[in-house]
Amino acid sequence: MTDTAALPPLDDLIACPHCDTLHLEQDLPEGSKAYCRRCGILLLTSEPQAIVRLVSLASAAVVLMVAAISFPFLDLDVSGQHNATSVIHAITVFSSGKGIPLAIAVALFIVVLPLVRLLALIFAIGPLVNGSKPHHSARVAFALTEQLRPWAMAEIFMVGVTVALVKIAGMATVTVGPAFWAFVALVIITVFNDQIMNRYSIWKALDTGYNA
């Protein structure tokens, strides 16, 4: 057993969330990454531009999301009969009868939760961009962003759309609307955003922001 007295100050330590191994936090050279010595997961990144990038990408994603849910998404044409669908429409079609639970689930996974995540992220780290103090509840907002990560499924929805298009390609002509492309851009941005987001580095940046 290690003697607690021999340990450095607790604030200088970082524990791996997967295997509980303690590491001494160090100032990383710019652009480098720190991994857990035992299990190898990524612990910290040092990317000074990350916060600015995250906020700008998230703001772009919010705009795209508004476009993606309001413009026509797909247009179906079977021998003269038309049916244009927006994402909102896709959700409301279910809301009759036994489709309600499914409508709620789809609305949550592809619109509500991704949007809440983006807004919470902007709220939490937005002020850090121009060096001002983060909001009082920035930590709660960022914790929310992290917790919702597995439940925001916009990218999975896009694969679903592709499968659906192939399924009806034989029986009808389908044209994609502007919302479709907005959604594609949104998915690319979201995936890219999650790649550059490192939660421990952001917690650290929030700490520095509060103390500044």
Partner 1 sequence: MESTGHGLQRLTTAREAGLIACTRCGQVHAGGAVRCKRCHGPLESRDTQSMQKVWAWLIAGIIAFIPANIYPMLITNTLVEHSEATILGGVVQLVGHHSYGIAAIVFVASIMIPIGKFFAIAYLAISVHRQQILKMHQRHKLYDVVEFIGRWSMIDVFVVAILSALVQLGGVATINPGVAALSFALSVVFTMLSALAFDPRLIWDADRTAE
Residues in region 25-54 near partner 1 by CB under 8 A: 37-41, 43
Q: What is the contact mask toward partner 1 in residues 186 to 205, using x (rule: CB under 8 A)?
A: -------------xx--x--
What is the smallest separation between the CB atom of 113 and partner 1, expressed in angstroms? 12
83 scored as a contact of partner 1 (CB under 8 A): yes
Query: In this chain, which stretch among 45-53, 126-134, 152-160, 181-189 interacts with partner 1, using CB under 8 A?
Result: 152-160
- Size of interface with partner 1, in residues (CB under 8 A): 74
How far apart CA 96 and CA 162 sit, in angstroms, is 25
135 binding partner 1? (CB under 8 A): no
DSSP state of 19: T
Backbone torsion region of residue 161, taken as left when φ is above 0, otherwise alpha when ψ lies between -120 and 50, otherwise beta: alpha
Query: Is residue 16 within 8 Å of residue 23, measured between CB atoms?
Result: yes
Q: Is residue 163 near partner 1 by the rule CB under 8 A? A: yes
Q: How far apart are the C-alpha atoms of 116 and 112, rounded to whole Å?
A: 6
Q: Closest approach of Cβ 71 to partner 1, in Å? A: 15
- Cα–Cα distance measured from residue 135 to residue 37, given in angstroms and rounded to the nearest whole number: 34
Instruction: Give the span between the Cα atoms of 36 and 19, in whole angstroms.
Output: 9
Q: Per CB under 8 A, does 19 bind partner 1?
A: yes
